[in-house]
Amino acid sequence: PYETRAGLGILTAAERAAKQTLDGVGEAVWTDLVGLSMSAPMVGRPRRG
C-alpha cells in the first residue's frame, strides 16, 4: 500500500513528482535524504585487547 511505501520513502517517480508539487520543494530534499543516509555512521563491535 501507498502509506507503507511512503513511510519507508519508497515512491514511484510519479508519486515523487506529485509530492514535490504539493510540498513546494524540489529534488534538493530527496538528494539531501540520500546523502544523509549514506553518511550515517556504522557501529561495530568494540575491539578487545
pLDDT in tens, 14-24: 888 887 777 76
Report the alpha-carbon distance of residue 6 to residue 44 in Å, rounded: 30
Which amino acid makes up residue 7?
Answer: G
* pTM greater than 0.75 (yes/no): no
- Percent of the chain past pLDDT 90, that is, above it, reads 0
Taking the alpha carbons of 21, 23, 27, 33 in that order, is the dihedral positive or negative? negative
